[in-house]
Amino acid sequence: MAFSVRRLRRHLSTAHGCVTERLILPPQLSKLGVAGQGWQVRTAVRQSLIPGAGDGRLAEEPVASNVRVSVKPIVAMASLESLRTVAHDATITFVSTEDLERYVRLGEVEGGYTRTQILEVFEHFIWSLDGERAFLNNCTWSMNHADEATGGVNVAFSEVDGSIVGDSVEDILAGDEFRNNYRAFAMPAFYEAFCRTHNFTDVKT
């Protein structure tokens, strides 16, 4: 995934919120700031405020508590013939190892990525709410972890009417980093087994 932002932009065109040229993987799409990611407030992916944490998503405007900040419609991996047609705001769900392998194959064919590169995306960006489906945002949240013990959780996610929605749980100032609780994820058994088979750790662990 060693592509500069400038080079990625040359490969990317948008039509109705979808990628129409070379496939760009979820963390790259997020960092590019493509339109239509499902954010209801202005945000940007930049260097995290947490030392050593890499990228983070920062608010570009004040957000009051109990405001819907993100809406991402759910799309089942089994229904997809191509990854290039997936809307930027979609959350892809996987219910089996076959679904995961289908994503890998399409990523190799449509994007020219290696299996290792795609598994790295799985490692850092697959999550779950229900312990049955694995979730991958087509444009990643790019949010870092916080929890009740350390403080700093300001966004919580849930499933509402076929979409993954994010709501602010406290006032957020412009320039603050959005943070959610990774420990609230309930990872599916099939995905945990997939991680063990391929020698990487799921994001909750």
CA distance 41 to 104: 32
Residues of the chain with pLDDT under 70: 1-21, 148-150
- Give pTM, 2 decimals: 0.88
Per-residue pLDDT at 21: 67
Q: What are phi and psi of 7, to 5 degrees?
A: -65, -40
Per-residue pLDDT at 18: 45
Per-residue pLDDT at 150: 63
Per-residue pLDDT at 147: 75
- One DSSP character per residue, 84-135 reads TTSBTT-EEEE-SHHHHHHHHHHHHHHH---HHHHHHHHHHH-B-SSSSSEE
Give the tens place of pLDDT for each residue, 134-150: 999 999 999 999 876 66
Per-residue pLDDT at 74: 98
